[in-house]
Amino acid sequence: MSAPTTPAPLNPDGSRRTFMKQAGGFLGLALAPPFLSQAERLTALSKKVEGVSTISLKVNGTVRTIRAEPRVTLLDALREYLDLTGSKKGCDHGQCGACTVLVDGRRVNSCLTLAIMSQGKEITTIEGLAKENGELHPMQAAFLKHDGFQCGYCTPGQIMSAVACVKEGHAGSEAEVREWMSGNLCRCSAYPNITAAILEAKGQMG
Amino acid sequence: MNNFSYIQADKAKEATAAKRDDKSAAFVAGGTALIDLMKLNVENHGQLIDVNMLPFRGIEMTKDGLRIGALERMSDVGEHPLVKQNFPAVSESLLLAASAQLRNMASMGGNVLQRTRCGYFRDTAFPCNKREPGTGCPALEGDNRNLAILGTSETCIATSYPGDLSVALTALDAVLTLENAKGKQRQVPITKFYLLPGTTPQRENVLEADELIVAITIPQTAAARKSKYLKVRDRSSYAYALVSAAVGLEVQGGTVRAARVALGGVGAQPWRSLEAEKALVGQPATEATFRAAAELALRGAKPREHNAYKIEMAKNTLVRALSEVAA
């Protein structure tokens, strides 16, 4: 499997984030075909797809297209094709929750979701939570305040899952948060601080 | 994961005919079990047929009971008021399963078709009669702590269905509606859907190659209304059951009028115990009665080296579940 585009140049700090943030918006706009509604998608796609095809994904409000095989998961599409590396690959089998993203507002494991089946849907990743001016989402701020992590690898998945947990109405008590967040494992065991962060952010989420 | 072709079906016949015409094809709805097994190379499919656009949705009360479209997601069914009120065991079996993320993805039909968590089945480095018929079963003398003690055979001792939902559906006499490539539907009670391993552990259920599960119907009864799913596991959340019990009781004036008993985690298939039910009906709803029923439910158990603990655990789980619904 190979990404169709040349890897982005590194920043002096070794990251590609700033570049990709710019390139994302701009290439997305330039290359994206008109976004298909679900009904249109039916006519457009109700034929067999073999090998590489063009897949349109609406990620964090922007339609992006990739050329990929049907076996490419949403997680790999985000990380390897769209350079949105916030969503993490932990177990790659739906057992750890590090890859959690929202699809049409519902939390899912992107490692068990096929990119080709995610077309026509609103995908939200950790990169799409903060406001454009950089102001953090209340859940992100609460994780910082309560030190809801140690190594940080599970954190993007924890935060995406936590946002959904609150919106679902499953953050009524510490016990409820623990039960409804059980799909996100933390190898550093920051659970008490994660729970505290979620209970606090709940009050600040509109 | 090996590559495959993909088709999004917009008519049921398109999906079932594609499956009939390609022996390597599989239906995909949520994909949570399928993609996992394909990444492990335990399952390899040349084609995935996306059935999500098909109209097999909805949760509604009918004259035959609650009819649930097979494409409804576990989370939506588990939290649906009609399910919670009339079939608490079904709601509990759904909400105690997997994680919030997986429950948002996994379909009802797909859940019924989950495959075993036996470590030898899931690791292609080992032989496995279920995965590759005739190669042998290392679990017989190996790590069998999580495996079955009822309904097993010398070729396979897996808990072929490792999940929760079908245990509750088995207790409550749910009926599956299957549709084939001719557009013909048939009804199969879930108690007749799964097959015991015998000498063909690779054949797990009665589904034909071109058949798709389109609905699940659960009859409305007093015992279903007073039902419970109790799950015992290694960690308190997000784990498969070591042992589970789905029970329903109708009690009048302290006497059991109707009883439903099924066990998970112990059988080669979700394990209905008609013996236990018979021992409960007409008896006082007391712990002594429940204990006697539990003894009968586990009477034929054949433990292996590491799973004998399941006998006592299953009895205690059953007694506790019955005591809680009777209270």
pLDDT score, position B196: 98
Q: Does the structure show a pLDDT above 50 at B189? A: yes
What distance in Å separates residue B48's CA from the closest CA in chain A?
9
Q: Cβ of A182 and B4 within 8 Å?
A: no
Of A32-36, A85-89, B112-116, B214-218, least confident by mean pLDDT is A32-36
A176 at interface of B, judged by CB pairs closer than 8 A:
no
Residue B250 has pLDDT above 80, yes or no: yes
DSSP A1-46: ---SSPPPPPPTTS--HHHHHHHHHHHHHHHPPPPPPHHHHHHHH-
The answer to whether B220 contacts chain A (CB < 8 Å) is: no
Interface test with A, best of B92, B99, B240 (most A CBs within 10 A): B99
Interface list for B 87-106 with A (CB within 8 A): 98-102, 104-105
User: For residue B79, what pLDDT is reported?
Assistant: 98
Among A133, A162, A128, which residue's Cα sits nearest to residue A148? Answer: A162
Q: Is the pLDDT of residue A56 over 80?
A: yes
Query: What is the distance in angstroms between the Cα of A151 and the nearest Cα belonging to chain B?
Result: 23
Residue A35 has what pLDDT? Answer: 53
pLDDT at A37: 52
State the nearest Cα–Cα gap between A37 and chain B, in angstroms: 13
**CATH number belonging to domain A138-202:** 1.10.150.120
Rounded mean pLDDT of B240-246? Answer: 98
The pLDDT of residue B325 is above 90: yes
**CB-CB under 8 Å, A164 with B7:** no
How close B95 gets to chain A, by Cα (Å)?
10
The pLDDT mean for chain A works out to 85
Per-window interface: A 14-73 vs B, CB < 8 A: 41-42, 45-51, 69-71, 73
Tell me which chain A residue has its CA closest to the CA of residue B52. Answer: A117
pLDDT score, position B129: 98
* Spatial distance between the Cα atoms of B40 and B43, rounded to a whole number of angstroms: 7
B9: closest chain A residue by CA = A46
Q: Does residue B208 sit within a domain?
A: no
Closest-approach residue (CA) in chain A for B8: A46
Mean pLDDT (whole number) for A31-48: 52
Between chains, do A178 and B104 touch, taking CB under 8 Å as contact?
Answer: no
On the question of pLDDT at A15 being above 90, the answer is: no
Q: Give the helix/strand (H/E) hosting A168.
A: helix A155-168
Whether B196 is covered by a domain: the verdict is no
Mean pLDDT of B245-257: 98
Does residue B257 belong to any structural domain of this protein? Answer: yes
Residue B159 lies in a domain: no
> In B, which residues are within 8 Å of A165 by CB distance?
100
What pLDDT is stored for residue B216 in this prediction? 99
For chain A, percent helix, then strand, then coil, each to nearest 5?
A: 40, 15, 45
Tell whether B4 lies on the interface with A, counting CB pairs under 8 A.
yes
- Mean pLDDT for the stretch of residues A65-73: 98
Is B6 close to A49, i.e. CB distance below 8 A? yes
Joined together, the tokens standing for residue B184 give 């013909």
Tell me whether residues B100 and A108 touch, CB distance under 8 A. no
**B162 in a domain, yes or no?**
no
Say if the Cβ atoms of A106 and B14 lie within 8 Å: no
pLDDT above 90 for A43: no
Separation in Å, CA B152 to CA B148, B163, B258, B271: 7, 17, 29, 12
Cβ distance B5 to A73 less than 8 Å, yes or no, reads no
Looking at residue A206, what is its pLDDT?
A: 73
ipTM: 0.97
B255 within a domain of the structure (yes/no): yes
pLDDT computed for residue A45 by the predictor? 47
Tell me, yes or no, whether B299 lies in a domain: yes
B3 at interface of A, judged by CB pairs closer than 8 A: yes
Confidence of residue A112 (pLDDT cuts 50, 70, 90): very high
**For chain A, what are the domain ranges?**
17-127, 138-202
B10, B47, B105 ranked by CB distance to A112: nearest: B105
Angle between helix B309-326 and B287-297 (nearest 10): 140
B32 shares contact with chain A (CB less than 8 Å): yes
- A165, B100: Cβ pair inside 8 Å? yes
Name the helix (H) or strand (E) containing A192.
helix A191-202
**Inside any domain, residue B232:** yes
- The token duo for A11 is 């920043």
Overall average pLDDT of the B9-13 stretch: 96
Cβ pair B285, B326 in contact under 8 A: yes
Cα gap A162→A204, rounded to integer Å: 13
pLDDT score at B16: 98
Of B5, B31, B99, the CB nearest to A49: B5
- In total, how many domains does chain B have? 1
A26, pLDDT greater than 60: no
Yes or no, beta carbons of B3 and A180 under 8 Å apart: no
CA distance A40 to chain B (A): 12
Residue A121 touches partner B, C-beta closer than 8 Å: no
Average confidence (pLDDT) over B48-61: 98
Q: Report d(CA B214, CA B118) in Å as an integer.
A: 28
Average pLDDT over chain B, rounded to an integer: 98
Domain boundaries, position B307: 222-326
Nearest to A93 among B5, B39, B99 (CB): B39
A24/A54 Cα distance (integer angstroms) = 17
Please indicate if any CB of chain B lies within 8 Å of the CB of A168.
Answer: yes
Q: What is the CATH number of the domain that holds B305?
A: 3.30.390.50
pLDDT value of position A47: 81
Q: What is the pLDDT of residue A10?
A: 44
Question: Can you tell me the mean pLDDT for B181-185?
Answer: 98
Contact B6 A46 (CB under 8 A): no
Higher pLDDT, residue A36 or B58: B58
Domain A17-127 is in which class?
Answer: alpha beta
pLDDT at A135 over 80: yes
Question: pLDDT tens-digit profile of B66-93?
Answer: 999 999 999 999 999 999 999 999 999 9
Q: At what angle do helices A155-168 and A191-202 cross, to 10 degrees?
A: 40
**Residues on chain A touching B105 (C-beta within 8 angstroms):** 108-109, 112-113
Crossing angle, helix A138-146 and helix A155-168, to 10 degrees?
A: 120
Same fold, A17-127 and A138-202: no
CB within 8 Å: A114 and B35: yes
3-state secondary structure of B261: strand
pLDDT surpasses 60 at A87: yes
Q: Is the pLDDT of residue A14 over 60?
A: no
